[in-house]
Amino acid sequence: MIPILSLCLLLLSLQCTPKVEWIRSLPVDAARDHQITLGFYSRPAEKKSAFGSKQFQLYWKEEIHLQSNSKFTKIWIEWKVYEDHSEFHHKVGLGNFEKSGDWVLLQTNIITESKCISFEKTKTIPHGKDWSKLFPCSTPISPNNRSIDHRLLYYYDGKSLYPLQYESGYTEANFGIAWESDLPYTKSSLFEIAKLKYGKKEFQPHVYNHVKLD
């Protein structure tokens, strides 16, 4: 009886799980175009602490830099401040992007990752742009380069990029806009509701907004 029940639950789970394979590619027969604003797109980020703890603070940055020749750089930085030390974690992804209408596919080919620790007393982090040059590492940084084939589709509304699944620092989770939509590559009512829901999240919203440089 138990094996039969388990099988039924598995089949029900498979039926209820949305098919989101389409978030790894552009529509096959759709024309490609280059109508997108190049430059930096930044994910809204605020410092976080565990239940208001004064012993731990989390800062992070996430940016996508769309460049000419369909190249992009994806930057993820995490700066953890503890009472007696700080930890720094930095990832940079390099790849190519393609666009078709409202959909933009980012394909990462190379990731460079680096980590280091500081035992200096740090209460607040600097407001400079390049944290990798500002972090006071107590040990030398040894970047780790590796090849990768990571693809993720974004929705582009003319000013912002919305990832269709949760992703941060190339770590993904099975939820997001596509998981609550009904049809691939379609701006249905369910898609719009999910986009509004995840794009307005207080912590790690699923959106990168274009940054106008001074």
Query: Cβ(164)–Cβ(156) under 8 Å?
Result: no
**Percent of the chain having pLDDT more than 70?**
83
Euclidean distance between CA atoms 116 and 88, whole angstroms:
5
Comparing C-alpha atoms, which of 30, 75, 23 is closest to residue 181? Answer: 23
Q: Which of 150, 146, 112, 147 is nearest to 132 (CA)?
A: 112
**Does position 9 have pLDDT exceeding 70, yes or no?**
no
- Specify the pTM: 0.86
Mean pLDDT, rounded, of the chain: 87
**What's the maximum distance between 2 C-alpha atoms anywhere in the chain?**
68
**How far is residue 12 from each of residues 5, 7, 17, measured CA to CA in Å?**
11, 9, 9
Q: 179 with 18: CB under 8 angstroms? A: yes
Residue 99, pLDDT above cutoff 70: yes
CA dihedral 130, 132, 137, 139 (to 10 degrees): -160
From residue 34, alpha-carbon distances to 20, 31, 68, 102, 187 in Å are: 25, 10, 10, 11, 20
pLDDT band at 156 (very low <50, low <70, confident <90, very high): very high
- The residues spanned by each domain of the chain are 18-210
pLDDT value at position 127?
Answer: 66
Residue pLDDT, tens place only, 47-95: 665 545 677 888 889 999 999 999 999 999 998 988 888 899 999 999 9
CA distance linking residue 180 with residue 177, whole number of Å: 6
